A and B are shown apart, each in its own frame.
Chain A
Amino acid sequence: MADVRAAAVGQADPVVAGLVEPSGPRPRRALSRRNIVIYGTLLLFSVYYLMPLYVMIVTSLKGMPEIRFGNVFAPPVEITFEPWVKAWSTACTGLNCDGLSRGFWNSVRITVPSVIISILIASVNGYALANWRFKGANIFFTILIVGAFIPYQVMIYPIVIILREMGVYGTLTGLVIVHTIFGMPINTLLFRNYFASVPEELFKAARVDGAGFWAIYFRIMLPMSLPIFVVSMIIQVTGIWNDFLFGVVYTRPETYPMTVQLNNIVNSVQGVKEYNVNMAATLLTGLVPLVIYFISGKLFVRGIAAGAVKG
């Protein structure tokens, strides 16, 4: 019966079959040519993207003799954690030999307050823009967004002067202010769009009940918008941790963030180059954003999609 029916169907619509067949979905086998091309290409690219990470890891676990006589892709014969210890606690930048640990703690001291302050300010800005629009608010917002495209180099020196006038040039406070300023466009945009999507009835009901600007922000908006705070935090932590330019311009050597110190360690001209220590130091610096990336997963992607304007 089944055979007959299949034959009948096959005979019944040769026209339709002829129309659909060239591009219609065929039963796919696991190893169709199409799949080989797709997965092959993706695997090839994956190798390109993963290779540097792999090389960083294996190099940082080798001793210098092994590096000199082996090749970069070979896994370590004798695993040693000495380069990591050295990178963390005794690697030299100029005269200081206390390793990357100092840069790490500087970066922590820069990142934590910068992230908190910049997110608080940006969220309040976004809230004011979405729910309490006053005359001219949109003009400032437009300037803010367009300003995100101005090259930092144009504003670097005026900010030096502003910070000097405030008496915080060269201090961590100054750098926190700078990060707050430059994180503002993207995060304000993020929060504005989010708060604008909150149903207005909720806001109106709170107004009717007599809640003011701050009460609505702290009691209603803030508890509702935890996901967007997380997205914003991901953007800010990775952005500030990875910053180099502001760190080098607005801090002194003893308060250099990790990226600046890393660059000074690796690109210092004195002494014998210790590639394993360099790679351990590089990995250590990349570790914080990498951990955030792998933990946050989809939220990171969302942050990128939302924060694409940052450029």
Chain B
Amino acid sequence: MATDASRRPNSLFRNLNAKIASIPMIFTALVVFVGGTIWTVVYSFTNSRLLPRLNFVGLDQYERLWTTPRWIASIQNLLIYGTLSLIFSLLIGFLLAALLDQKIRFENTFRTIILYPFALSFIVTGLVWQWLLNPDFGVQHFVRSLGWETFTFNPLYDQSIVIYGILIAGLWQGTGLVMCLMLAGLRGIDEDIWKAARVDGIPMWKTYLFIVIPMMRPVFVTTLVIIASGIVRIYDLVVAQTSGGPGFASEVPAKYVYDYMFSAQNLGQGFAASTMMLLTVMIVVVPWAYLEFGGRNKRG
């Protein structure tokens, strides 16, 4: 090891091994994440089609994007799916976590059952629910065979409700994760708080609503950010379950991007659409990152 005196002149070589070892990280951070993002944003202002070309056309791609019915449908679907998915996964996830937190028996068994879908891919999830929601063989057929002949539950072939069919599958796959995070949050609450509330005679639901949930604010915020950034990415589930159909009733932005980049060979449109996706995520993540990391200084 060099002495202090010889270290100062060439600070580049200080800690050299650590720097060499971090090259992959630096490459990923600077070239792929920052560089790639800037590259895509820049090229979204060009009229690239089959190959990327620096032929700037201003906001043309965005204008076309927001006048394309398929994109509008994607955004609407994302809004519906996103809002409902957030509400229900938080509600169900918290409810399940609260139930599991009652010092019950078989806690591990229940947790294993609730969480296992999260281990499965969206492709598997989509295909199972495609089969379950199949009108001729699945749930609808089953209920009809029980004697309720007019029962209709056919989300995958009905344009107006197809997004709810995807929501059911998405919730099946994702609520386990929320439950897990919420349970960790609940376990982090001091037992004394419960005791104090009990001594004061506060009913349980009130304790949850006015004491425990406000205390779990950071857990809720983190969970919210995780679910939200996952929702914006939703792609494989739709591809597997409906391929965006019927028509384009279940299109989502990520699928729009993929199709324009790799099938329609209209790169500029794909870049513009993906930039809009980036914007959506930033609306969620930036305020969170600011609150989480900006307010306090470094955490370590």
Binding site for B on A (CB under 8 A): 19-20, 22-24, 38-39, 41-42, 45-46, 48-53, 55-56, 59, 67-68, 71-73, 121, 124-125, 127-129, 132-135, 137-138, 140-144, 146-147, 149-159, 161-162, 180-181, 184, 188, 196, 212-214, 238, 241-245, 249, 259, 262-263, 266-267, 275, 278-279, 282, 285-286, 289-290, 292-294, 297, 300-301, 304-305, 308-309, 311
B271 CB contacts on chain A under 8 angstroms = 157
Residues of A within 8 A of B137 (CB): 67-68, 71-72, 275
Task: Say which residue of A52, A55, A241 sits within 8 Å of B172 (CB atoms).
Answer: A52
Write the nearest CB–CB distance from B287 to chain A, whole angstroms: 12
Asked if A144 and B17 sit within 8 Å, CB to CB, the answer is no
Q: Are A311 and B17 in contact (CB under 8 A)?
A: no
Q: CB distance A149 to B204 under 8 Å?
A: no
| Chain B residue nearest in CB terms to A146 | B289
Query: Taking A279-B131, A289-B121 as contacts, is the C-beta distance between A213 and B21 under 8 angstroms?
Result: yes
B19/A134 in contact, CB under 8 A: yes
Contacts A146-B289, A158-B40 supplied; 18 other A-B pairs, CB < 8 Å: A22-B203, A23-B203, A38-B104, A42-B99, A42-B100, A45-B114, A125-B21, A134-B15, A149-B225, A153-B233, A159-B36, A244-B239, A263-B239, A282-B124, A285-B121, A300-B115, A301-B111, A311-B233
B120 and A305 within 8 A (CB): no
Name 12 interchain pairs, CB-CB below 8 A, sorted by A. A45-B92, A147-B32, A149-B229, A153-B257, A154-B37, A157-B271, A213-B17, A242-B120, A244-B122, A262-B127, A275-B134, A304-B180
- A132–B18 alpha-carbon span in the complex (Å): 6
C-beta contact mask, B218-240 vs A, less than 8 Å → 1, else 0? Answer: 00001101100110110110011
Distance in angstroms between the alpha carbons of A146 and B128 in the assembled complex: 33
* Stretch from B60-68, B80-88, B153-161, B275-283 at the A interface: B275-283
Q: State whether the Cβ of B150 lies closer than 8 Å to any Cβ in chain A.
A: no
- Digit string of B1-36 for contact with A (CB within 8 Å is 1, else 0)? 000000000010011011101101110111111111
B170 on the A face (CB < 8 A): no
Mask: chain B, 110-135; 1 = CB below 8 Å from A; 0 = not: 11111111111111100111111010
> Known contacts being A157-B40, A158-B40, A294-B112, is A55 close to B128, with CB within 8 Å?
yes
